[in-house]
Every structure is written in C-alpha cells, then in structure tokens.
Amino acid sequence: MQTQTHAPAPTSTAPQLPQVTLPRNPGMPLDLDWVARAQTNTSAIERRCATLPGRRSVKKAYQAAWLAKAITLIDLTTLSGDDTPGRVRRLCAKGRQPLRADLNTALGLPPLTTGAICVYHEMVATAVDALQSTGIPVAAVSTGFPAGLSPFHTRIAEIEASVAAGAAEIDIVISRRHVLTGDWQALYDETCAYRAACGDAHVKAILATGELGSLRNVARASLVCMMAGADFIKTSTGKEPVNATLPVTLVMLRAIRDYADRTGHKVGYKPAGGISKAKDALVYMAMIRDELGPRWVQPDLFRFGASSLLNDIERQLEHHVTGRYSASHRHPMG
Ligand SMILES: O=C[C@H](O)COP(=O)(O)O
C-alpha cells in the first residue's frame, strides 16, 4: 500500500519577478562518448512514474501554497493561428495579475505574476508593450515553430527578429531528423547556432519528445542540447500528438542532473503541452523536487508551458478560500 507524504510548503511563494541570477550554461564541446553511454530503463521509469502521484500528494494546508508557487512557474501561452493583439494583451493582463484580487488577499499572498508570456514572433512587440515595467519576460517560439523545417537561414533570422523585438527568451525547436538519424553533430551545431543568434536572450530547446521515437533518444538529445548551451530543455511544442509526460520528464530531469554533476551548470526544465490540471502540476513539481532538489522549483529553472493550467489553479484556489467551485467560463483565459 502506498503511503501518502505531506510535501513541505515551498520555501517561498513570492519569487514573483523571475530573475535569472544563475550563471548561464556556457555549453561544452560535444562529447559523443557520453551521449552514446546515455541509456534508459523504460520499465523502471514507467514503474516510478506510476507510483509518484499517490506517494507525493500535497495536502490541504500546503496545497494552496504549492498552487500559488505553480502560478509563478507558468509560461502563460497562446500559440494559435487566430491570435490577435487583443488576445495577447488580455493574456498579458492575466500574467500581471494571475489570481483574482479577492483570492490573493484571502490567501495572504504577495502580488503574483506568471513566469513569462509565451507567444509567436508576430505577437512579441505587443506582449513587450503590454508588460512594460513588470519584469515579466516575453518568450517567443522561433525557428519555424512547431515543425522547425523552414530554411535554416530564416530560422536564424526569426530568432534575431524576436530578440530585436524584445523577447528575453527564445523557445527554439530542434530538427527531429537529427535525433532520428543519430546525427548528434548536426543537432549540436544547429543548437549552437541558435544559441549564438539568441545573444543575451535565453534559449529553451524544445525536443518535441513525442516525435523522437524512444526515451533513450530523449536522454541523448537532452544531453546534446545542454552541451550546445541550452539554458532550458523543454519537452514539446504542444502541437505533437503526445506532449509532456511523466516518463519523459524523469528522463530529462536525470539528464539535467547528470549534466549539473559533471559540469556544475544548472539547466532549467519546461514540460509543455497538455498540462491543464492543478493536480498534475503538483505531481510535476514533486518530481522535480525529488530528482533535482528545491532550488529547481524556481522560475529561473522551471516553467510550465501551458495555455489553460492557470484557469484550473485559480478554480482550485477559489475552492480553497470559499469552499465552492465557480464555473470554468468565469475564468475565460489562462
Ligand atoms: O509551450 C506551450 C504549449 O504550446 C502549451 O500547450 P497547451 O495549450 O496544451 O497548454
């Protein structure tokens, strides 16, 4: 029988303005021996993931604190073909004040913000303008998102244009074919070029894990992207048939741990796509805390890529305060 543990409340629910205080991952030369040694034990990984939600539930008093913390870790995202400046401005307003003021007060929380606002390049200028003097970074999905199959020079130009428009973080998509053909040198070179084009903007490397074929490929691609200087590794675009999962998360977190042990550089993690329930967010947070420690549960090292998670977290916090759930249509965005 599984025993439920009460995870301690996060040390602080007030890391509101995401400040990157860590030195960036500078990368390292491609180490093909290390890449080849990366293995995964799928059945052990699946067993561990199956038991985690029961073993690491967060109960009552701590739950609200963890959910408030989760809000600060969200890259609040809109990546739709029908995005408009108006929608992006509303999203930014939600990012500035993600929780209804009465709930914020009742919970005794300081002002919260989301970790970032994540949009297509075309919407970067609008988001930057809407977030002026908030300290909330704008993340742009560039490099021919989501497939990453546009000509290489246009992918580089897109990064440069997003940075020039004010994006502080660039979510790049890797070429899946380099992984599927085992061309690690090509993946490394591509990611190095993206990082160079980003300049001071931080690089989140989207692996599109649902298209990589195996957990071993996920582990190897994670290592190669970190060797190439990725500041974050991210699971998915949200557009693949399978997006963030716990097994993929475990593999990527262990790659991050190996890389930190060996190089001393902490790389961030961003699960993205299909994370829409507060209870699932708590499981991800428990896993990252278990695998990497509490330092990683901060906005400079952990983000959820999510378009609708905030909606459910706000509903759960409303229930915590009032004992009632409001209809989800009362939370039209986030
Ligand atoms: O990077 C973020 C994802 O595209 C968001 O996916 P979602 O809409 O399933 O939450």
**Minimal-distance CA residue to ligand 1 atom 10:** 306
- How far apart are the CA of 258 and the centre of ligand 1, in A? 27
Give the per-residue pLDDT at 326: 77
32-322 folds as TIM Barrel (3.20.20)
**Minimal-distance CA residue to ligand 1 atom 4:** 238
Q: In Å, what is the CA distance from 40 to each residue of 180, 208, 213, 254, 257?
A: 16, 18, 13, 10, 14
Q: What is the pLDDT along the chain (334 residues), one digit of tens a residue?
A: 333 334 555 655 444 444 557 999 999 999 999 999 999 999 999 999 988 777 666 666 689 999 999 999 999 999 999 999 999 999 999 999 999 999 999 999 999 999 999 999 999 999 999 999 999 999 999 999 999 999 999 999 999 999 999 999 999 999 999 999 999 999 999 999 999 999 999 999 999 999 999 999 999 999 999 999 999 999 999 999 999 999 999 999 999 999 999 999 999 999 999 999 999 999 999 999 999 999 999 999 999 999 999 999 999 999 999 998 876 666 655 4
Nearest to 221, CA basis, from 278, 159, 174: 174
Place of tokens 């500078």: 26
Give the per-residue pLDDT at 122: 97
- How far apart are the CA of 273 and the centre of ligand 1, in A? 4
pTM: 0.92
Give the per-residue pLDDT at 282: 96
Which residue type occupies 91? L
* Residues with a known catalytic role: 171, 234, 270
Give the per-residue pLDDT at 331: 62
Question: Which residues does residue 202 pair with via DSSP β-bridges, in sequence order?
Answer: 169
Torsions phi, psi of 154, nearest 5? Answer: -75, -30
**Minimal-distance CA residue to ligand 1 atom 7:** 273
Give the per-residue pLDDT at 18: 45
CA distance from start to end of the chain: 37
- How far apart are the CA of 305 and the centre of ligand 1, in A? 5
Give the per-residue pLDDT at 8: 57
The answer to whether the beta carbons of residues 320 and 104 sit under 8 Å apart is no
Q: Which helix (H) or strand (E) holds 256?
A: helix 246-263
Mutate to test the pocket of ligand 1, among 74, 78, 79 (most ligand atoms within 8 A of CB): 79
- How far apart are the CA of 172 and the centre of ligand 1, in A? 14
Nearest to 255, CA basis, from 273, 275, 233, 236: 233
DSSP collapsed to 3 states, 279-332:
HHHHHHHHHHHHHHCHHHCCCCCECEEECCHHHHHHHHHHHHHHCCCCCHHHCC
State both tokens at 196.
């160079």
The answer to whether the beta carbons of residues 283 and 53 sit under 8 Å apart is yes
Which atom belonging to ligand 1 lies closest to the Cα atom of 141? Answer: 1
Scanning 56-183, the segments in alpha helix (DSSP H) are 60-72, 85-96, 101-106, 124-130, 152-164, 176-180
Nearest to 32, CA basis, from 227, 193, 172: 227
Give the per-residue pLDDT at 182: 98
**Minimal-distance CA residue to ligand 1 atom 6:** 273
Domain residue limits, the chain: 32-322
- Does any ligand 1 atom lie closer than 6 A to the CB of residue 235? no
Nearest to 127, CA basis, from 74, 72, 167: 167
- Does any ligand 1 atom lie closer than 6 A to the CB of residue 334? no
State both tokens at 219.
């582990």
